Amino acid sequence: MSTLEQAIRFAAAQHQGQKDKAGQPYITHPLRVMQNVSSNDAKMAAVMHDLLEDTNTKVHDLAALGFSQTVLNAVIALTKLEHDSRFSAAQRTVKNAIACQVKLADLTDNMDLSRLQKITVKDLARLKQYQHVYTVILEADQIHRLIQRCQPPRDYPLFEYSSRQENYLFILNLMQDVRHPCSRLKIGSAQTYAILFKDCAAYFSWCKRQSQQVNLSYAQQLIYRADQLLFNRYFSDALSRNIIKKILQDFQKALL
């Protein structure tokens, strides 16, 4: 298995002779990005994040060097393809938790115009694009981090990043299944009661899109209405309602 030191050496060799927009050796950029992420896998992905895009390096080259599939997947998710815009490339990045962490550090470094001797109209236009992409990636990163904090068991259904509403629906049910287990609820298999949160997820998604303040009492009523219509008031006892209230409070604090 390859190490971070090997990743740094390989990236430095592949970027040799390249310069950034400030005229500095290009390798200084991925090194700065690397310093602003925490895990070892994220650091390896960070220092190699531009290899597939800006050098002749191929995925099989990295695989042959012994880098893990986790690191390879992150590097692939960070790579802007020839036909991609920054925005279309971001739609792949959001699906990978490590890639999101690296991309935020990458964008933060790229948005620092202080290294440029002269700031042009083109630089400002690019900065505006970076800021938009940053907002998209930041939301995805918050979602991935919340899921990781919930610590779903290994046999829990894998999360696949989708629309905001579908992401919210998955997380709300995950929080019910994992963060607030209670034998009295007889939760059953994972994501069994996702439909209970469907209207609430749609409401939260609308609030996020419209930058509206969430009304948690209204969100609770949406869940209770679904419970009455679909589950014959299965979640109407005080314990169940307290759990649902805590789920919504935690969700709001993390994502809204």
Q: What pLDDT, on the 0 to 100 scale, is given for residue 219?
A: 98
**pLDDT (tens digit per residue) in 17-35:** 999 988 999 999 999 999 9
Its pTM stands at 0.92
Question: What are the C-alpha distances in Å from 175 to residues 118, 187, 194, 205?
Answer: 49, 12, 11, 17
Note whether 106 and 46 are within 8 A (CB): yes
Please state the rounded mean pLDDT for residues 59-66. Answer: 97
Please state the rounded mean pLDDT for residues 213-231. Answer: 95
Domains of the chain in start order, with CATH, are 4-147 (1.10.3210.10), 156-255 (no CATH)
Question: In 3-state terms, what secondary structure has residue 146?
Answer: helix
**pLDDT (tens digit per residue) in 83-109:** 899 999 999 999 999 999 999 999 999
Q: What pLDDT, on the 0 to 100 scale, is given for residue 194?
A: 83
In whole angstroms, give the CA distance from residue 166 to residue 2.
36
Instruction: Share the mean pLDDT of the chain.
Output: 93
Q: What pLDDT, on the 0 to 100 scale, is given for residue 179?
A: 67
Contacting residues for 138 by C-beta, under 8 A, at least 6 apart: 104
**pLDDT (tens digit per residue) in 69-83:** 999 999 999 999 988
- Percent of the chain clearing pLDDT 90 (strictly above): 80
Question: What are the C-alpha distances in Å from 108 to residues 84, 105, 166?
Answer: 20, 5, 28
**pLDDT (tens digit per residue) in 172-219:** 999 988 866 554 455 556 677 788 999 999 999 999 999 999 999 999
Q: Please check the confidence at residue 166 and state whether its pLDDT lies above 80.
A: yes
In whole angstroms, give the CA distance from residue 198 to residue 97.
24
More confident residue, 1 or 2: 2
**pLDDT (tens digit per residue) in 38-51:** 999 999 999 999 99
